[in-house]
Amino acid sequence: MDWGMKNRFHRIIRPEDGRTVMLAVDHGYFLGPTTGLERFAETVVPLLPYADTLMLTRGALRNYIPPESDVPIVLRVSGGTSILNKNLLHEGIITSIEEAIRLNVVGVAFSILVGAEFERDTILNFTKVVDEAERYGIPVVAVTAVGRDMVKDVKYLSLATRMAGELGARIVKTYFCEGFEKVVETSPVPVVIAGGKKIPEKEALTMTYSAIEAGAAGVDMGRNIFQSENPVAMIRAVRAVVHEGYTGEEAYQLFEELKAGGGEE
């Protein structure tokens, strides 16, 4: 890797342990005012000290995040359809690399819809973004397996993850599944898991622990943090699993303690 690429990559995947807590708050580009993000800055700004990177759209970044903040940004650059469209996530390029550079990002994120009717469109647009981003040393995070129709089992997730890595992703975001070791082992690049829809905190922390045990580089988690009854306590508990070797059970204890104390330092 060239210096710029390496530097940006390690502002996502921390060099100390090869892990990351990416906070995903990009949901508005297809879901609108997602539950928990209606008052975006109020929810997200207190989480910034605990996020290794923040993944969001340019509109959310410009309008809600103080430019004085030093949290590294991964910019969502695919989109084009809404939750109301039956072809949800038939996405194209929504933000140029020039704009990403202007916003001083450390990475860009693009969804590929492997197995969908329109997979070819999303994959060819993804590779265009990879070509352009690589020219400037910007890592591309491939977002895989989002959508309702796919059976998110080890066979499918391994296929989508491996394809994303071979097509040029520097990091792949996918979902946790039974047999996740295979997804990680057959990926040429680090794999992080999304949280998916909100589940009880204990389950989300256990899933995070299982993913780390299986070799994941961390999480790119959204709803299970910002929809938690105490988002600050939850992101700190997730960090404890990803960076401090806590089990799911230990992290849940920590969550409960932090929640009782209000979540802040």
Enumerate binding residues for ligand R5P (CB under 6 A): 24, 26-27, 111, 143, 146, 194-196, 220-224
User: What's the closest the beta carbon of residue 49 comes to ligand R5P, in angstroms?
Assistant: 20
Residue 173 annotated to the active site: yes
User: What's the closest the beta carbon of residue 261 comes to ligand R5P, in angstroms?
Assistant: 25
The Cβ of residue 144 has, within 10 Å, a number of other Cβ atoms equal to 29
The residue among 33 and 262 lying less far from ligand R5P, judged by its C-beta, is 33
User: What's the closest the beta carbon of residue 2 comes to ligand R5P, in angstroms?
Assistant: 27
Catalytic residue among 173, 182, 198, 202: 173
The residue among 146 and 177 lying less far from ligand R5P, judged by its C-beta, is 146
The residue among 6 and 39 lying less far from ligand R5P, judged by its C-beta, is 39
User: What's the closest the beta carbon of residue 194 comes to ligand R5P, in angstroms?
Assistant: 4
The residue among 15 and 200 lying less far from ligand R5P, judged by its C-beta, is 200
Positions annotated as catalytic residues are 173
